[in-house]
A and B are shown apart, each in its own frame.
Chain A
Amino acid sequence: MNWRRLNHALHRDIGFLCVGLTLIYALSGIAVNHLQDWNANYSIERVSLQIDPLPSGVVSSAQIPQVLRQLGETKISNKHFQPDPDNLWLYADKRMIRVHLPSGNVQAEKPQRRPFWYRLNFLHLNHAKKAWTWVADIYAAGLFLLALTGMLLLPKRRDLKRRALMLSMTGVVIPIFFLLLYY
């Protein structure tokens, strides 16, 4: 087998091997880039409610069940925190309930993991650590080889060679341009 054939075979097989991880990294990459606009990990259901106003100050543990009953909670938990005398945060069944005591305004939020995107980001951002780090490193090496073997897939036609060179140079110049612009 000559080197061209070997290079072609390597490029093809590494490409096939990298398909799954490339899809994961590409999709998750877009999601992570836009985290400010869209929370890819959780969908948060927010509900506004109203209860009877309560006096500002330290809320005792004995008062918590009363507040929760007013909110129609069936599971009564004493978990609470007050960031200041006017506000009370309650925690019930994976939800966080923010109560503004003087007005009785309540904001309840229930986060729910987005099963598909959460798992994608879990892998992409290497939350798993351990052996997954090795898989991710091997994938990165695969991409490196894919780029190198890709560069050696030079077409025989002269006009296509020029085109390949122009496209490759564009891919190199784009990040350099943005480094000069923003860094």
Chain B
Amino acid sequence: MLKSVIQLLVILLVCLAASTALAKDFGDGISLKKTTLVSELIDNGDAYVGQRVRVRGMIADVCESRGCWIYVAGDRPFEKIRVKVKDGEIVFPLEARGNEAVIEGTLEKFDLSREEVIERNRHLAEERGEEFDPTTVSGGEIFYQIRGLGAQIEGL
């Protein structure tokens, strides 16, 4: 009897260890087959606005307080794309930073005025508990963001 219980426990532990090595699904998971490069979305974003896209890359940063956004590193230096999810629908764990991920969602375009950029950067600085100087913002900003619907993160 005891032997069987120990065997069962060993099997459960092996399964648990194996499951952590596999990718973990979030939200709707991944359905698209074709991956679009982050650089392509940055260069030709207008062509993809409103479309469902799939990107792949390392998670560069995660929202500390709510896990409601991530940055996915791009394929070119100094580039990343923000993935925003509806609060509570998907919650990205902080431990995902540095892990490879496949993300799927709809591309959105934002055309922010200088005041809106200041407001956004102030909010981000507050989240990180950092000081923010509005004079560092010189003007408005156009950027693309993925409205995240599903994700698959490796190594969690």
Which chain A residues have a beta carbon within 8 Å of chain B's beta carbons? 35-36, 39, 41-42, 44, 58, 77, 79, 81-85, 89, 91-92, 94, 96, 111, 125-127
B97 surroundings in chain A (CB, below 8 A): 91, 96
Which chain B residues have a beta carbon within 8 Å of chain A's beta carbons? 58, 60-61, 64-67, 73, 77-78, 80, 88, 91, 94-95, 97-98, 126
Q: Across the two chains, which residue of chain B brings its CB closest to A90? A: B98
Q: A35-B65, A36-B126, A96-B98 given. 19 additional CB < 8 A pairs? A: A35-B66, A39-B64, A39-B65, A41-B67, A42-B94, A44-B64, A44-B94, A58-B77, A79-B58, A81-B73, A81-B80, A83-B60, A83-B80, A89-B60, A91-B97, A94-B95, A96-B97, A111-B95, A127-B88
A81 to B98, CA, bound (A): 9
A92 to B97, CA, bound (A): 10
B126 surroundings in chain A (CB, below 8 A): 36
Question: What are 16 A-B interface contacts by the 8 Å CB criterion?
Answer: A39-B65, A41-B65, A42-B64, A44-B64, A58-B77, A79-B98, A82-B77, A82-B78, A83-B60, A91-B98, A92-B98, A94-B95, A96-B98, A111-B64, A111-B95, A127-B88
B78 surroundings in chain A (CB, below 8 A): 82-85
In the A-B complex, list the 10 residue pairs whose CB atoms are closest, starting with the nearest.
A91-B98, A111-B94, A81-B60, A79-B98, A81-B73, A35-B65, A58-B77, A96-B97, A125-B88, A94-B95
B73 surroundings in chain A (CB, below 8 A): 81
A82 surroundings in chain B (CB, below 8 A): 77-78
- Smallest CB–CB gap between B66 and chain A, Å? 7
A127 to B95, CA, bound (A): 16
Q: Across the two chains, which residue of chain B brings its CB closest to A122? A: B91
A94 surroundings in chain B (CB, below 8 A): 95
A44 surroundings in chain B (CB, below 8 A): 64, 94
A84 surroundings in chain B (CB, below 8 A): 78
A81 to B91, CA, bound (A): 22
A85 to B80, CA, bound (A): 13
Q: Across the two chains, which residue of chain B brings its CB closest to A79? A: B98
A35 to B91, CA, bound (A): 14
Task: Take A42-B94, A91-B97, A127-B91 as given contacts and tell me if A81 and B58 are in contact as well, using a CB distance cutoff of 8 Å.
Answer: yes
A127 to B91, CA, bound (A): 7
Do the beta carbons of B88 and A126 come within 8 Å of each other?
Answer: yes
Q: Across the two chains, which residue of chain A brings its CB closest to B67? A: A41
